Amino acid sequence: MSGLVSLQVKQPQWSKPTDQIFIGKDILELLSTSMYVDPLTMYREYIQNAADAHDADATTRNTNRSGSVRIKINRQERSILISDDGLGLSEREFRKRLTSIGGSAKRGTNARGFRGVGRLAGLAYCQELIFRTRPAGKDSVYELRWDSRKVRTLLRSSDTQLDLAGIIAESIESRTIPASGYPDHFFEVELRNVVRHRDDRLLNTLDVSQYLGQVAPVAFHPEFSFGEEITNYLKDNGVSYTPLSVEIEGEGPVFRPHRNEIALGGKRLKLLAPEMFTTLDREGECSAVSWVLHHEYLGTLPKSTMINGWRLRSGDVQVGGNDILEELFPESRFNGWTIAETHVLSKKIIPNGRRDNYEHSAHFSDLLTRLTPTAKDIAHRCRVSSISRNALQKHEADLAKCEESIAIASKPRTPAFVVASLKEEVESCLSTLAKTSQRGLFSDSEGDRFELRIKKITSKLKALPDDPDTADALQDFPPAQRHIIKDVIETIYLAEGQSDVADRLVGKILSKLRSHRRKQK
């Protein structure tokens, strides 16, 4: 039997395309208009760029300045001006950076942004987008202007041959102007003829201030007593970014929203000392630094506090919203009870393009897994607080009921059978209260206060007759009617409480019933 011989078939070779690669104009819409959901995100992008520039200045030029950003919003002219005191860019670098798309030199560095598209954030919200800079030591200011109206017109046109480079070339202009009247060095972005978007939040100074207080790399408020302690811990563990000084004309400096107390349902919640910890990755390197502010956990914190929810930050800039870690909690609602932040340090955990979450990776999943026990601990605290609060409310209600019953029973004109019934109810309730007090649900001060009230109730209970004579009150009524009449009279005394209304009403009822019985006889 002859063997089979397999014939090897030569596979075709792969080849590189020879045609020119075409990048259509619509890519610009994806990188600007469609990139960001919340218009306020535009402010974050430009503040983030200012922070990166300040850090670069500090590193390359060995400066130790505290970077500052000034924001001027003019509602009448519908304009926004965001200026920083960076050392500026040379003419060549300025034009190169502002006309390059997706080619940032920040990739691979510690910079917060590295995709080279954040500068386009304002295109969707104005008719003109202008960039200016003056490098230190130069007498010229360099400007580059985007005509946003033209961009939108070209994007809507039916010209399918217009590519990305073509639409940029058609939409931008640049010039050099004298530096007289400008700061010695700066970089700024100006939005002219800001379009009305949603509730016009872009031009609302309070909304902008509150938004940046949550997401921007700014300092804690001086009135937040734990701010320095948290800041020092973060710095000691690798979060070395220096906060920017951000000020909005008309609103003043922007600070983080944390304060020493929180308003919740008419109460003032006091915060406990922060719990701070680091998280190591699989290689034993510090991948994140976290802090948690525990409190009474009385319920979901209002959105108006701007600190509700466990948040994530990279480069001291918030990534995503306050719900980004909801999935870590056994019940997602407990995230809203939480005040916590985690600063991500690992370069392997990267924010996505929109910065509304992180790129999915094994390293990010590992971080979430390691943070989950803390989320479960917070959820346990929430449940314990809820149980304790419900027990406290019931304890208060039961004590108040006992005190009212004793007061009714102590009245001279309260019928003996009502006194006997109330005594029995109070004795039963006190037994239950004693068991509840032993469960450790209350603070020492609450326990002492309850114990004092129970002693007073017990003392008054002992002062009541041990065996009140109940035979004479309704003796003239038939046995079948007595039970019903007793229930009615007890209900009246309990409903009217300690007032004399019950005495008068019961007297009238008994008089009417006895008069009716006499007529029947």
Beta-bridge mates of residue 177:
141
Q: Using CA atoms, how far apart are residues 145 and 98, in angstroms rounded to an integer?
A: 10
The size of the chain, in residues, is 521
Q: Say what the pLDDT of residue 36 is.
A: 64
**DSSP secondary structure string, 112-124?**
S--SS-GGGGGGG
Q: Using CA atoms, how far apart are residues 339 and 262, in angstroms rounded to an integer?
A: 11
Which of 157, 181, 203 is the endpoint of a domain?
Answer: 203
Which of 176, 203, 230 is the endpoint of a domain?
Answer: 203
Contacts of 340 (CB under 8 A, 6+ apart): 290, 291, 292, 293, 310, 311, 374, 378
Does a structural domain hold residue 434?
yes
> What is the extent of the structural domain holding 515?
383-520
Whether the CB-CB separation of 86 and 79 falls below 8 Å is answered with no
* Amino acid letter, residue 338: T
User: Given its phi and psi angles, is residue 316 left (phi above 0), alpha (psi -120 to 50 degrees) or beta?
Assistant: left
Q: Using CA atoms, how far apart are residues 453 and 445, in angstroms rounded to an integer?
A: 13
Whether the CB-CB separation of 44 and 118 falls below 8 Å is answered with no
Structure-token match 């719990």, residue found: 275
Torsion of CA 398, 402, 403, 408, to 10 degrees: 140
Does a structural domain hold residue 373?
no
* Amino acid letter, residue 125: Y
Does a structural domain hold residue 299?
no
Does a structural domain hold residue 469?
yes
Q: Say what the pLDDT of residue 35 is.
A: 60
Q: Using CA atoms, how far apart are residues 168 and 429, in angstroms rounded to an integer?
A: 80
Q: Order of strands, edge to edge, in the sheet holding 317-319?
A: 275-280, 286-292, 339-344, 309-314, 317-319
Q: Say what the pLDDT of residue 262 is.
A: 87
Could you give the 3-state DSSP secondary structure of residue 10? coil
Could you give the 3-state DSSP secondary structure of residue 510? helix
Neighbour-count burial of 81, counting CB atoms closer than 10 A to its CB (0-12 exposed, 13-18 middle, 19+ buried): middle
Does a structural domain hold residue 142?
yes
**DSSP secondary structure string, 440-488?**
--S-HHHHHHHHHHHHHHHHHHHHS-SS---SSTTTTS-HHHHHHHHHH
Domain count, the chain: 2
Does a structural domain hold residue 173?
yes
Whether the CB-CB separation of 271 and 320 falls below 8 Å is answered with no
Instruction: Write out the H or E segment, with its range, that includes residue 3.
Output: none
Does a structural domain hold residue 362?
no
* Amino acid letter, residue 106: K
Which of 203, 232, 262 is the endpoint of a domain?
Answer: 203
Whether the CB-CB separation of 354 and 37 falls below 8 Å is answered with yes
CATH number (domain holding residue 189)? 3.30.565.10
Backbone angles phi, psi at 89, to 5 degrees: -120, 145
Q: Using CA atoms, how far apart are residues 284 and 302, in angstroms rounded to an integer?
A: 38
Q: Using CA atoms, how far apart are residues 363 and 350, in angstroms rounded to an integer?
A: 10
Does a structural domain hold residue 131?
yes
* Amino acid letter, residue 220: F
Whether the CB-CB separation of 84 and 53 falls below 8 Å is answered with yes
Q: Using CA atoms, how far apart are residues 370 and 368, in angstroms rounded to an integer?
A: 5
Q: What is the mean pLDDT of each run of 10 residues along the chain (521 residues)?
A: 64 78 64 70 91 78 76 96 93 87 58 65 90 93 92 77 78 92 94 89 95 96 94 92 90 95 84 95 94 93 94 95 96 96 95 90 96 96 85 82 82 75 82 71 73 84 70 66 73 67 69 67 62
Q: Say what the pLDDT of residue 412 is.
A: 73
- C-alpha pair distances (Å), 273 with each of 233, 294, 298: 13, 7, 17
Which of 364-370's residues contact partners 24+ apart within 8 Å by CB, and which partners?
Answer: 366/281, 366/282, 366/287, 367/279, 367/281, 367/287, 367/288, 368/325, 368/327, 368/328, 370/279, 370/280
Question: Biggest alpha carbon distance in the chain?
Answer: 130
